[in-house]
């Protein structure tokens, strides 16, 4: 179908004409199950051998990531001799990389490469199944560097102008609207773009969205699904292989790890790579702050993506991630949800923190609608707003709801109290994350929503690390994260609670090796009845989240305060204390990089979110003492505490009309 046969014939013709060229055939693509059709590869190789082309043609097999990038870099042009195509992304990818293209006039290719408004050709187009014409085009490009450059530049401009992600999504939305009358959509709502056909979203829009953002989410997902079913021994050796590659990369590309490994005698080529890893001390946030620049590999494929944890953990950190880490995290989340029957493209709801800046809100709405997602603001959980949330949920009917446990429990409790059955038909799963999940929260959510509940574990720095399976065990995504539980830096036995340290695997931008994520937990020895080979962990203890109650009746999830500090340098710890509805005190523990101007910025952000008339005292203090319980609370609201004795209500009490509790304080651990 891809026309590899003609390509090989064309190369043979060029050899006869003494045209110098060498061809690398990349692919076939990795299948849905993560497997490759080796049969096909073998067939191609046989043909090349018969034609005597083994010196001119190489078959790389399927490639991803850096290996694929390297191929792109050294290529002069892309040849796509397909017999039929839809709209091949690979042409856009070539354009984005400023490479010339030779392609056949099939499917969507002429629309893509010869739009009538373009006066000059963007690529060389040939008839399909015609090796002679193909050879002619290849000879032309091989002999004319100027032409190659001109084509490449024009295609680059074209792609840049017409195929940015926003444009693509918007255009697809328009197309979809036009074809929608002909598609079967259950319960079509009167509002346009309310709900895109799930199949269309899962198979077309979502993959496209991820591809355009340069993320190989689908590939990562299929690898995860394959490895989950692998034999334990195979999974473990794959994990070790990835661990070694991660350490090797860190040593080669970052000054920080190079000198660290030298200091602790870590040999990345040693046989037992896990033992080498254990020589290193756990990595603290303070260490990351100190060595920021030395820890980063600015050549990471796809570039660096600046990130900040606004720490619902109570401190802030700036760091860099890359596309691999992004793709892994999304794939892990999708994999975990798929264990409960929720598929890519299914409708999803998020009860989550909305960004303070609402720039691009229109586009976001469009994207949400097209990707089958709605976002309910967890930073406003007033009765009025919760009524709206419940209405939107009932109308949108997500299959999966993703939420902070405190926020989900509050919404569930409210629904039960109002005797509003949360009849979100089709809801299969509520994922609780961002904080440690309390049993009673699970309970009330399960009761109100009438569906399964699963916890996800991770952090902004590390991405998604683990997810509960239908048997309630928390499985570590071992291909993405190497989790250890340590005491004094040394691993302890199965079942024993200690400090969780995480090595993020495969990422390039800023390696995190033995990173102290700030939680306690344990690794479990027992195999899980779900049959997954992924290791099992347990998260124990953590930090405390609360709500902030405002005069206008709004109740905001405590994570809102993290947005106000995100991106500020030198904040080691912080706490927001709400003394009265409009009196806030913000305590900051800082280091030398803290800029005193930040005090003003932080105060302004509080005012913007909580109202211009609030009083905000921002104070830098020597130390923020932990709670008597040993937990660190980053939000303390005396207002919330005063309201109605501030305790969890029993389900019976919850049904009494005159009880209006705010919510309980729960132990938590957060990644927002
Ligand atoms: Zn399991």
Q: What is the DSSP string of 371-416?
A: TTEEEEETT---HHHHHHHHHHHHHH--SEEEE-HHHHHHHHHHHH
- For 4-163, CATH number out of 3.40.50.300, 3.40.50.2000, 3.40.50.10310, 3.30.70.20 equals 3.40.50.2000
The angle formed by the CA atoms of residues 639, 643 and 646, to the nearest 5 degrees, is 105
**Residue 401 bridge partners (DSSP):** 349, 430
Question: How many angstroms separate the Cα of 370 from the Cα of each of 196, 221, 366?
Answer: 6, 21, 6
484-515 residue pLDDT tens: 999 888 899 898 888 899 999 998 899 999 99
CATH 3.40.50.2000, the chain: domain bounds: 4-163
Ligand 1 center to residue 477 CA distance, Å? 12
Phi, psi angle pair for 580, to nearest 5°: -145, 170
- Tens of pLDDT along 116-170? 655 788 899 898 888 889 999 999 999 899 999 999 998 888 887 777 666 666 6
Sign of CA dihedral 456, 457, 460, 462: negative
The confidence score (pLDDT) of residue 650 equals 34
CATH 3.30.300.30, the chain: domain bounds: 544-668
Is the C-alpha dihedral spanning 333, 336, 341, 343 positive or negative? positive
Residue 478 Cα, ligand 1 centroid: separation in angstroms? 13
CA distance 29 to 496: 43
Give the pLDDT confidence score for residue 411 in this predicted structure. 92
pLDDT in tens, 97-115: 899 999 988 877 877 777 6
Q: What is the pLDDT of residue 531?
A: 87
Q: Look up residue 343 and give its DSSP letter.
A: -
For ligand 1, the distance from its centroid to the CA atom of residue 1, given in whole angstroms, is 40
Q: How far is the CA of 529 from the centre of ligand 1 (A)?
A: 6
**Which tens digits make up the pLDDT trace of 264-293?**
999 999 999 999 999 999 998 888 888 878
For domain 221-314+321-539, give its CATH number from 3.30.420.10, 3.40.50.1970, 3.90.230.10, 3.40.50.12780. Answer: 3.40.50.12780
Cα(396) to centroid(ligand 1), Å: 30
What is the DSSP code (8-state) at residue 650? P
Residue 60: predicted pLDDT: 85
Residues whose CB falls within 8 Å of the CB of residue 503, separated by 6 or more in sequence, listed in order: 243, 246, 277, 481, 482, 484, 512, 513, 514, 515
C-alpha of residue 123 to centroid of ligand 1, in Å: 51
Where in the chain is CATH 3.40.50.12780? 221-314+321-539
Please state, rounded to an integer, the average pLDDT across all residues of the chain.
79
DSSP 231: -
Ligand 1 center–CA 470 separation, angstroms: 6
What's the pLDDT at 424?
62
C-beta neighbour count of 608 within 10 angstroms: 12
659 Cα to the center of ligand 1, angstroms: 39
Ligand 1 centroid, distance to 105 Cα (angstroms):
49
Element (H, E) at 107: none
Q: Which residues fall within 8 angstroms of residue 259, CB to CB, at 6 or more apart?
A: none
Intervals of the chain under pLDDT 50: 31-36, 179-195, 311-313, 356-359, 644-672
Q: What angle do the packed helices 131-142 and 145-162 form, to 10 degrees?
A: 100
Q: How far is the CA of 340 from the centre of ligand 1 (A)?
A: 11
**494 CA → ligand 1 middle, Å:** 17
Distance 468 CA to ligand 1 centre (A): 7
68 CA → ligand 1 middle, Å? 34
Cβ atoms of residues 651 and 416 within 8 Å: yes
Q: What is the pLDDT of residues 335-362, one digit of tens each?
A: 999 999 998 888 899 998 755 444 455 6
Distance from the alpha carbon of residue 156 to the mean position of ligand 1, in angstroms: 47
If you measure from the C-alpha of residue 527 to the centroid of ligand 1, how many angstroms do you get, rounded to a whole number?
A: 8
CA distance 190 to 667: 42
Q: Name the fold adopted by 544-668.
A: GMP Synthetase; Chain A, domain 3 (3.30.300)
Gap from CA of 472 to ligand 1 centroid (Å)? 7
Give pLDDT, residue 470: 92
């Amino acid at each position: 179908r891809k026309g590899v046969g003609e390509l090989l014939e064309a190369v043979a013709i060029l050899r006869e004409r003494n045209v110098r060229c060498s061809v690398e055939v990349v692919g076939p693509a990795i299948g849905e199950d993560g497997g490759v059709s080796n049969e096909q590869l073998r067939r191609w190789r046989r043909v090349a051998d018969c034609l005597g082309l083994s010196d001119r043609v190489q078959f790389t097999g399927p490639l991803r990531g850096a290996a694929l990038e390297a191929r792109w870099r050294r290529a002069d042009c892309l040849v796509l001799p397909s017999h039929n195509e839809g709209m091949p992304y690979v042409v856009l990818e070539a354009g984005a990389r400023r490479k010339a293209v030779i392609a056949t006039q099939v499917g969507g290719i002429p629309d893509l490469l010869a739009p009538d408004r373009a006066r000059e050709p963007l690529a060389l187009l040939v008839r399909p199944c015609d090796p002679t014409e193909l050879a002619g085009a290849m000879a032309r490009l091989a002999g004319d560097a100027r032409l190659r450059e001109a084509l490449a530049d024009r295609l680059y401009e074209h792609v840049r102008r017409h195929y940015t992600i926003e444009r693509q999504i918007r255009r697809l939305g328009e197309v979809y609207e036009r074809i929608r009358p002909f598609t079967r959509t259950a319960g079509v709502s009167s509002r346009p773009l309310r709900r895109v056909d799930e199949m269309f979203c899962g198979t077309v829009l979502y993959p496209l969205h991820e591809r355009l953002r340069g993320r190989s989410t689908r590939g990562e997902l299929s690898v995860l699904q394959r490895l989950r079913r692998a034999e334990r021994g195979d999974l473990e050796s794959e994990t070790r292989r990835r661990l070694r590659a991660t350490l090797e990369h860190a040593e080669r590309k970052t000054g920080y790890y190079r000198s660290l490994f030298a200091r602790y005698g870590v040999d990345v080529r040693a046989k037992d790579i896990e033992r080498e890893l254990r020589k290193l001390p756990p990595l603290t946030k303070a260490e990351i702050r100190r060595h920021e620049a030395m820890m980063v590999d600015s050549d990471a494929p796809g570039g660096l993506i600046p990130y900040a944890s606004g720490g619902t953990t109570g401190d802030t950190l700036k760091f860099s991630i890359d596309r691999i880490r992004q793709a892994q995290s999304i794939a892990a989340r999708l994999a975990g949800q798929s264990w409960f029957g929720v598929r890519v493209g299914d409708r999803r709801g998020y009860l989550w923190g909305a960004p303070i800046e609402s720039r691009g809100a229109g586009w976001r709405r469009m994207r949400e609608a097209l990707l089958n997602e709605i976002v309910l603001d967890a930073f406003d959980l007033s009765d009025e707003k919760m009524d709206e949330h419940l209405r939107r949920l009932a109308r949108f009917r997500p299959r999966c709801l993703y939420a902070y446990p405190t926020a989900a429990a509050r919404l569930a409790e409210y629904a039960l109290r109002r005797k509003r059955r949360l009849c979100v038909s089709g809801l299969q799963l509520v994922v609780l994350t961002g904080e440690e999940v309390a049993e009673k929260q699970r309970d009330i959510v399960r009761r109100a929503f009438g569906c399964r509940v699963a916890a996800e574990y991770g952090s902004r720095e590390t991405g998604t690390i683990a997810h509960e399976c239908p048997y309630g065990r928390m499985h570590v995504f071992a291909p993405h994260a190497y989790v250890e539980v340590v005491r004094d830096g040394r691993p302890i036995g199965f079942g024993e609670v200690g400090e969780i340290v995480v090595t993020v695997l495969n990422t390039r931008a800023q390696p995190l090796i033995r990173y102290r994520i700030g939680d306690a937990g344990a690794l479990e020895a027992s195999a899980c009845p779900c049959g997954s080979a992924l290791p099992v962990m347990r998260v124990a203890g953590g930090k405390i989240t609360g709500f902030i109650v405002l005069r206008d009746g709004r109740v905001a999830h405590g994570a809102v305060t993290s947005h106000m500090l995100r991106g500020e340098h030198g904040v080691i710890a912080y706490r927001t204390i709400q003394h009265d509805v409009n009196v806030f005190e913000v305590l900051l523990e800082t280091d030398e990089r803290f800029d005193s101007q930040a005090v003003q910025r932080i105060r302004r952000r509080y005012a913007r979110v909580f109202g211009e008339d609030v009083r905000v005292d921002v104070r830098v203090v020597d130390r923020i003492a932990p709670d008597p319980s040993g937990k660190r609370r980053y939000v303390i609201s005396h207002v919330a505490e005063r309201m109605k004795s501030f305790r969890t209500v029993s389900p019976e009490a919850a049904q009494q009309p005159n009880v209006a509790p705010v919510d309980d304080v729960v132990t938590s651990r957060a990644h927002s």
